[in-house]
Amino acid sequence: MDAVLGALALGDIGRHFPDTDHRYKGVNSLFLLDKVYLLMEEKGYRIGNLDVTVIAQQPKLAPYIDEMRRKVSDVLRVSVEEVNIKATTEEHLGFSGREEGIRAHSVVLLAEKERT
């Protein structure tokens, strides 16, 4: 979400969905991603491609990657071939390696929507 919001110069998820707002407590992240999609659409852009790296010692995500790609591509209204998600570990280093949390990095390419 932050990659899309950043590419649109719209700040970050904390600005749009602050953790101090009770409406977002426990909310499904796909719901928030759909809201970000609508902002992107309003600005006249579409996803060209998306690449995500999830960094976690546990759980092992490989069995879930295909489903994750499908769900993200469905919300973003793009082909699953335009969404890449991969998982890696930090080999027991850092807070994710100590299983204290999970990190993610993403890069998105936006393209202007064709005008009809």
Print pLDDT tens along the chain (116 aa): 999 999 999 999 999 999 999 999 999 999 999 999 999 999 999 999 999 999 888 788 899 999 999 999 999 999 999 999 999 876 676 656 666 677 899 999 999 988 76
List the domains of the chain with CATH numbers: 2-112 (3.30.1330.50)
**Which residues are CB-contacts of 30 (< 8 A; sequence separation ≥ 6)?**
71, 72, 75
> Which residues lie below 8 Å from residue 45, measured CB to CB, with a gap of 6+?
7, 8, 110, 111, 112, 113
pTM above 0.75, yes or no: yes
Q: How far apart are CA 107 and CA 1, in angstroms?
A: 10
Angle subtended by helix axes 29-42 and 65-76, to nearest 10: 40
Name every residue whose Cβ is closer than 8 Å to that of residue 7 and which is 6 or more positions away in sequence.
Answer: 45, 108, 110
